[in-house]
Amino acid sequence: MAVQDLVKQNPFAFLGTGVTIIALVTALFTIDSRYAHSAEVAKDKQQTQQLIVETTRNLRKQNLEDKLFELDIKKETAANQRLSPVDAALRERYDRQLKEINQQK
């Protein structure tokens, strides 16, 4: 009976307390949703690392293709249509590296 009497005497105090509790719970859920959760951060980190690896591989592949192209042009413009021993070794090396990169995909 004491609680009922207290509510009858001061109904706005209980209403205010209820509204305050609801507002606090809502605020806590809002704050929680604003911050990244550890699983999301780990997933984003993994995706970022994978993207970095793929981008680095693509850049290396393009660089090797450019070097091979330059050596092919050098071979075509040479008087005897041959590369020097150093250039030939470089071409073989670049070609081997390019094949390795293509196999990794």
Q: Is the pTM of this model over 0.85?
A: no
Burial category of 25 from C-beta neighbours within 10 Å (exposed 0-12, middle 13-18, buried 19 and up): exposed
Dump pLDDT digits (tens) for 48-103: 999 999 999 999 999 999 999 999 999 999 989 999 999 999 999 999 999 999 99
The closest alpha carbon to 48, from 40, 37, 59, belongs to: 40
Binning pLDDT at 50, 70 and 90, where does residue 36 land? low
Please determine, for residue 13, whether its predicted confidence score (pLDDT) is greater than 80.
no
Residues contacting residue 68 through CB under 8 Å, at least 6 positions apart = 91, 94, 95, 98
Q: φ, ψ for residue 78 (rounded to 5)?
A: -70, 150
